């Protein structure tokens, strides 16, 4: 690893909470600069949990960061070819848009190319670029307190650890966030019901064939189903619509009971092609999640020894920017901490947070504005989506 001295981080221990793409990328970038870093992750081990669907990295964000972390060649060896293709259908499975058979060439120099990679593969790839034992598994963060100018971190397993600087990369339910700000999340109006299918080729072959290793969206007025492949051959789907803020509590559905969720979805999508029901039937466990966001004008006073990145800092509705933004946060934070432009840690953290919040504000507003068109499309918004894709190809 390349190692450079950084006076701000000299003799400093850095703790990153959360081994997602943002936290791991930050660890990699800081280690390249010679910093002492540990990543604490609640998962029992590296293979204990399926990481979910694929993610696409963008030219001016995720791919840019991969290059800065000297991981772009590893990414090219691991990404899922052709998985960036998009197919849009209506509720009757009529194809409205189709990129699957266009034969476009993958081109990492094309700013519009957004290659996809399995989340688990991406995580493993970044971990392989870290020093041995950087990630401390089975470390669910509970709390921390300052003791003699350092943080003492406490974990559910009884372990404690000390750090001079703590970075919360622990996602939309971040426990580190409360040490930075008391600004709470707001409800976007949309909720998703998510399911994963381990063996779709057998359990729902028609849908497996329709997805064809690409991104599939099915839209009708007021509701959407999005389906993505996973690197292990499985599928992840998201059934989205607009619901009242308290719908999960008042719906009467036991979301831990797969049969009850299946019955609800079949009823909700009753006038859709029955092939969609095979997705629901093949799923053994569902996750229901309201899509929340942090205010786009949020602000807090910087602290010298704790900050946030990714969803922990600027949760927003899904827009394809989440992982990419978290990785850009990691790059900006690593540069502010190590580029020698700041005389003290608080100034470096403040500069990072100012840049991070400004970027997130723009992207967050776009995501909030677009969530209704995703979760509860109208006939006009579907036509606009088709028109946008066709114009992009001209």
Report how far apart, in Å, the C-alpha atoms of 201 and of each of 31, 88, 198, 213 are: 42, 20, 9, 11
The CATH number linked to 203 is 3.30.9.30
Q: Which CA distances in Å does 25 have to 15, 83, 92, 326, 327?
A: 13, 23, 42, 9, 6
Digit-coded pLDDT (tens) for 143-199: 999 998 899 999 999 999 999 999 999 998 999 999 999 999 999 999 999 999 999
Q: Where among 238, 265, 293 does a domain terminate?
A: 293
Domain match, 26 and 67 both: yes
Structural domain includes residue 393: no
Q: How confident is the model at residue 388 (pLDDT cuts 50, 70, 90)?
A: confident
pLDDT score, position 322: 80
Residues 73 and 159 in one domain: yes
Which of 100, 81, 80, 82 lies closest to 232 in space, CA to CA?
Answer: 80
The last residue of one of the domains, among 293, 328, 357, is: 293
314 with 178, same domain: the answer is yes
pTM of the model: 0.91
The verdict on residue 54 lying in a domain is yes
Per the structure, the count of domains in the chain is 2
User: What range does the domain containing 46 cover?
Assistant: 7-80+116-184+295-369
pLDDT-derived band at 102 (thresholds 50, 70, 90) equals: low
C-alpha distances out from residue 8 to 163, 339, 341, 349, 351, Å: 14, 9, 10, 11, 14
Is 86 domain-assigned?
A: no
Contacts of 221 (CB under 8 A, 6+ apart): 376, 377, 378, 379
Task: Supply the CATH number for residue 63's domain.
Answer: 3.50.50.60
pLDDT for 53 beyond 50: yes
pLDDT of residue 2: 46
| C-beta atoms surrounding 41 within 10 Å | 27
CA 243 to chain centre: 22
Phi, psi for 181 (deg, rounded to 5)? -155, 155
In terms of domains, do 203 and 285 share one?
Answer: yes
150-155 vs 160-163, strand pairing mode: antiparallel
């Amino acid at each position: 690893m390349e190692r450079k001295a950084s006076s701000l981080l000299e003799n400093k221990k850095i703790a990153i909470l959360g081994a997602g793409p943002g936290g791991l990328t930050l660890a990699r970038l800081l280690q390249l600069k010679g910093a002492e870093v540990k990543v604490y992750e609640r998962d029992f081990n590296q293979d204990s949990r399926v990481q979910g669907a694929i993610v696409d990295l963008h030219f001016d964000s995720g791919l840019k960061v991969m290059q800065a972390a000297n991981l772009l060649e590893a990414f090219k060896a691991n990404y899922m070819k052709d998985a960036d293709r998009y197919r849009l259908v209506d509720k009757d499975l009529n194809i409205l848009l189709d990129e699957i058979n266009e034969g476009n060439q993958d081109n990492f120099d094309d700013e519009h190319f957004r290659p996809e990679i399995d989340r688990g593969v991406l995580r493993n790839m970044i971990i392989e670029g870290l020093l041995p034992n950087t990630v401390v598994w089975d470390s669910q963060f509970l709390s921390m307190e300052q003791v003699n100018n350092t943080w003492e971190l406490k974990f559910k397993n009884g372990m404690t650890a000390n750090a001079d600087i703590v970075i919360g990369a622990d996602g939309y339910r971040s426990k580190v966030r409360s040490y930075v700000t008391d600004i709470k999340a707001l409800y976007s109006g949309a909720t998703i019901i998510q399911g994963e299918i381990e063996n779709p080729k057998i359990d729902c072959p028609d849908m497996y064939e329709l997805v064809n290793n690409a991104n599939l969206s099915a839209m009708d007025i007021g509701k959407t189903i999005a389906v993505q492949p996973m690197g292990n051959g499985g599928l992840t789907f998201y059934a989205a619509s607009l619901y009242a803020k308290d719908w999960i509590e008042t719906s009467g559905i036991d979301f831990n009971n797969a049969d009850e969720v299946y019955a609800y979805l079949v009823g909700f999508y009753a006038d859709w092609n029955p092939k969609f029901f095979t997705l629901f039937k093949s799923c053994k466990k569902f996750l229901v999640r309201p899509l929340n966001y942090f205010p786009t004008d949020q602000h807090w006073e910087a602290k010298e020894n704790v900050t946030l990145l990714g969803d922990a800092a600027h949760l927003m509705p899904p827009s394809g920017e989440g992982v990419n933004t978290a990785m850009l946060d990691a790059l900006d934070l690593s540069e502010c901490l190590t580029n020698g432009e700041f005389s003290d840690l608080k100034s470096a953290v403040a500069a990072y947070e100012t840049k991070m919040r400004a970027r997130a504000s723009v992207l967050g507003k776009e995501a909030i504005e677009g969530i209704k068109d995703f979760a509860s499309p109208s006939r006009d918004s579907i036509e606009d989506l088709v028109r946008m894709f066709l114009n992009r190809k001209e």
